[in-house]
Amino acid sequence: MDSRTGLPVVGMVGGGQLARMTHQAAIALGQSLRVLALDPSDGAALVASDVRYGQHTDLAALREFSAGCDVVTFDHEHVPTEHIRALAADGVAVYPPAEALLFAQDKRAMRERLTELGAPVPRWRPVTEPDELLEFGTELGWPVILKATRGGYDGRGVWVVSGPTEAAELVGTLRAAGTELIAEERVALRRELAVQVARSPFGQVAAYPVVETVQRDGICVEVLAPAPRLPEEVALRAQQLAIDLATSLGVVGLLAVELFEVIGADGEPALVVNELAMRPHNSGHWTIEGARTSQFEQHLRAVLDYPMGDTALTAPVVVMANVLGGPDGGMSIDERLHHLFAEDPGVKVHLYGKQIRPGRKVGHVTVLGDDLEKVRARAVRAAWWLREGQA
């Protein structure tokens, strides 16, 4: 507890935009997020009062950081599980626990566990040598997907393998570099969906509406909430799946389940689990204005074992668009903001305090309304204004 306020201290390992936005939510709850950052220029370090510095791979730094925190949680999934176990053994409340976080860190462990649980997953197999991928591709037909089991994000660590020659070369190169791999069926997807739930230590789980995530070059560019034209029955199935997974895996905090919507053998929509994330997630940024409780507040409520907040939409349609750094067009981000605000007084902007580099997520925009096409066009246009200016 913070003796000045009588309210808890949550420590978040990692100082990126997720910690930055979690700090905003913490302020409303009377708290101030304690952040373990790498650098004073990290997005959260720029705005939070209680910032410590250290590597998330350094157990001594994690121990020092945790002292005086009521709960420790994460802005990313890169803290080694052995360090999380060591903190827990010290008596620190660390959420999500190592046993759960493993399934967001290691795609092979995730696929194995989900297969055991009977959750819908693509056909897959571990790959330790080229022949295993050749066999898999021959059996399923090319192309197939090859994934590094750890460390990938925004399309990195994922390869579409077109045939035997590429398979042999790629597996050889990656295995020589020590990369652990799995192969997956290339799913004939209609679109990508995501569903977020938050679970508390007590076991309460709250599910957000299912959203559609629009990807370009492996990067999420838009999120449409709720997912348009999704049959109620499928939406309920997706929420139930996420609730079941959060419970089975022992998640505490947020769980984002990224899903493929496919056409099943019966011609009806079916769902396949793509990835899991156990933290606030890009697919939930729309909740800041678009849900009664933002994912950032919900994550804090979950890890603190507060009762969960209302996840209802605040408008019929909500669209989030990521702002990616564009080429240097001679117009500053501040000028772009002026023009955008003149263009559309209703768009909500979130900038992360990052140096702008081409393709880097430097912020997001959210638009709310009644008509999907209009709302989406406004969000896309706003993201474009911030990226390109008038170029």
- How is residue 74 written in tokens? 């994460």
Q: What is the number of residues in the chain? A: 391
Site string for a copy of itself, 195-214 (x = CB under 8 A): -----------x--------
* Residue with smaller CB distance to a copy of itself, 314 or 390: 314
Establish if 46 lies at the interface with a copy of itself (CB under 8 A): yes
Residue 257 known to bind ligand: no
3-state secondary structure of 319: strand
CB 288 within 8 A of CB 349: no
3-state secondary structure of 365: strand
Q: How far is the CB of 378 from a copy of itself (least distance, A)?
A: 12
Beta bridge partners of 2: 7
Residue among 79, 107, 105 nearest 92 (CA)? 79
Residues 6+ apart with CB under 8 A from 144: 133, 136, 137, 160, 161, 167, 183, 184, 185, 186
Cα distances from 288 to residues 21, 76, 239, 245, 297, in angstroms, run 9, 19, 20, 24, 9
Q: How far is the CB of 197 from a copy of itself (least distance, A)?
A: 14
- Choose which of 281, 350, 376, 387 interacts with a copy of itself (CB under 8 A): 350
* Residue with smaller CB distance to a copy of itself, 44 or 271: 44
Establish if 20 lies at the interface with a copy of itself (CB under 8 A): yes
- How is residue 217 written in tokens? 């070059």
- Choose which of 15, 122, 269, 309 interacts with a copy of itself (CB under 8 A): 309
In angstroms, the CA 316 to CA 373 distance is 12
Beta bridge partners of 198: 206, 254
- Choose which of 269, 352, 379, 385 interacts with a copy of itself (CB under 8 A): 352
At 215, which helix (H) or strand (E)? Answer: strand 211-216
Radius of gyration for the chain, computed over Cα atoms and rounded to the nearest angstrom = 21
- How is residue 374 written in tokens? 């209009």
- How is residue 258 written in tokens? 């990224």
Site string for a copy of itself, 264-293 (x = CB under 8 A): ----------------------------xx
3-state secondary structure of 44: coil
Q: Classify 252 in phi/psi space as left (phi over 0), alpha (psi -120 to 50) or beta.
A: beta
- Choose which of 47, 93, 121, 252 interacts with a copy of itself (CB under 8 A): 47
Establish if 349 lies at the interface with a copy of itself (CB under 8 A): yes
Stretch that binds a copy of itself, among 88-96, 148-156, 239-247, 308-316 (CB under 8 A): 308-316
Establish if 308 lies at the interface with a copy of itself (CB under 8 A): yes
Establish if 1 lies at the interface with a copy of itself (CB under 8 A): yes
Site string for a copy of itself, 361-380 (x = CB under 8 A): --x----x------------
- Choose which of 303, 356, 379, 382 interacts with a copy of itself (CB under 8 A): 356
Q: How far is the CB of 90 from a copy of itself (least distance, A)?
A: 23
Residues that bind a copy of itself (CB under 8 A): 1, 4-8, 20-21, 23-24, 26-30, 32, 41, 45-49, 51, 206, 292-293, 301, 306-310, 312, 314-315, 332-334, 337-338, 341-342, 345-346, 348-356, 363, 368
* Known binding residues for ATP: 107, 147, 184-187, 192, 274-275
* Known binding residues: 107, 147, 184-187, 192, 274-275
